[in-house]
């Protein structure tokens, strides 16, 4: 994410505050090794087991894992007639995965003859992430997608005053927030539950998954759905924000030291 989205150097609109120019197309590709063993499990069977995976970074897209063909369970794959064309990589062919009574059509793609500027894709294949039951990074289950080695999350304690309002109603006020800085995203201010108007907030059924922080649950006010989120049991790297609440700046006003933030 840090390389391909927002102001990253491989985004279509790269930052202007540099002393160099990248000589190449607006849509850029960057192929780099993923440093750990990865496995993909479908219907109880391991479909991929590799310690030679590669991440393909493409402008404006999340990184995609490509694995050597030899690390796929070939006996579980059946070629199909489906094809797609990418102007930056070439013509892709597809295969269906069959494990017992489970069939995932066109779940695997590769470029048998990639264009010259992406020739290093030859011999590699990728899988649709959502068509697999379980992904493992070493022995830990992956949430959302693989963690990008170029992406990071930093959490710091702060004494800055944060006030959250919905109209004239103060929903939270704190001088002890956690400031969460995540690559490519604006700072988020996580407020301890004791500094939040819990009496006007109620849980919703919404949840989202972040591979860097964990599974978030959401709360609402009587008038604003999913106004804020929290990680009750965050991943180890994000433990400081456990139970703290971050508000959606598109739905309420968040001020930090008297200045509105987006």
Q: How many CB atoms lie within 10 A of CB 261?
A: 14
Query: What pLDDT is attached to residue 83?
Result: 98
- What is the pLDDT confidence band of residue 173, given thresholds at 50, 70 and 90? very high
Q: Is the pLDDT of residue 129 over 90?
A: yes
Q: What is the rounded (10 degree) CA torsion for 198, 203, 207, 209?
A: 20
Average pLDDT, integer, range 33-53: 98
- CA 262 from chain centre, in angstroms, equals 21
Structure tokens at 103: 């069939």
In total, the chain counts a number of residues equal to 262
Q: Is the pLDDT of residue 25 over 80?
A: no
Q: What is the rounded (10 degree) CA torsion for 95, 99, 102, 106?
A: -10
Percent over 90 (pLDDT), the chain: 84
pTM equals 0.86
Q: How many CB atoms lie within 10 A of CB 213?
A: 23
For domain 153-261, the CATH architecture is Beta Complex (2.170)
Query: What pLDDT is attached to residue 80?
Result: 98
Domain covering 29-141, topology: 2.170.150
Query: What pLDDT is attached to residue 104?
Result: 98
Residue 224 class from Cβ within 10 Å (0-12 exposed, 13-18 middle, 19+ buried)?
middle
Please choose, from the candidates 185, 224, 189, 184, the residue with its C-alpha nearest in 3D space to the C-alpha of residue 204: 224
Structure tokens at 169: 């109603």
Domain limits, CATH 2.170.150.40, in the chain: 29-141, 153-261
């Amino acid at each position: 994410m840090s390389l391909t989205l927002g102001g990253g150097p491989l985004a279509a609109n790269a930052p202007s505050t540099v002393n160099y120019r990248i000589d190449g197309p607006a849509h850029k590709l960057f192929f780099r090794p993923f440093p750990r063993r990865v496995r993909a499990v479908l219907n109880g069977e391991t479909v991929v087991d590799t310690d030679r995976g590669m991440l393909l970074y493409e402008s404006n897209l999340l990184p995609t894992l490509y694995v050597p063909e030899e690390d796929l369970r070939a006996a579980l794959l059946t070629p199909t007639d489906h094809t797609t064309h990418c102007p930056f990589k070439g013509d892709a062919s597809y295969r269906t995965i069959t494990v017992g009574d489970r069939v995932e059509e066109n779940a695997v793609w590769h470029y048998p003859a990639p264009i010259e500027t992406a020739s290093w894709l030859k011999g590699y294949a990728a899988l649709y992430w959502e068509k697999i039951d379980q992904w493992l990074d070493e022995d830990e289950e992956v949430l959302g997608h693989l963690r990008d080695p170029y992406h990071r999350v930093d959490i710091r304690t702060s004494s800055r005053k944060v006030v959250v309002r919905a109209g004239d109603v103060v929903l939270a006020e704190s001088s002890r927030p956690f400031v969460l800085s995540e690559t490519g995203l604006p700072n988020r201010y996580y407020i301890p539950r004791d500094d939040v108007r819990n009496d006007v907030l109620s849980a919703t059924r919404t949840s989202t998954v972040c591979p860097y922080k964990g599974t978030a649950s959401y709360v609402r006010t009587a008038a604003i759905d999913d106004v804020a989120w929290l990680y009750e049991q965050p991943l180890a790297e994000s433990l400081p924000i456990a139970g703290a609440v971050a508000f959606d700046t598109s739905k309420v006003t968040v001020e930090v030291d008297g200045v509105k933030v987006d």
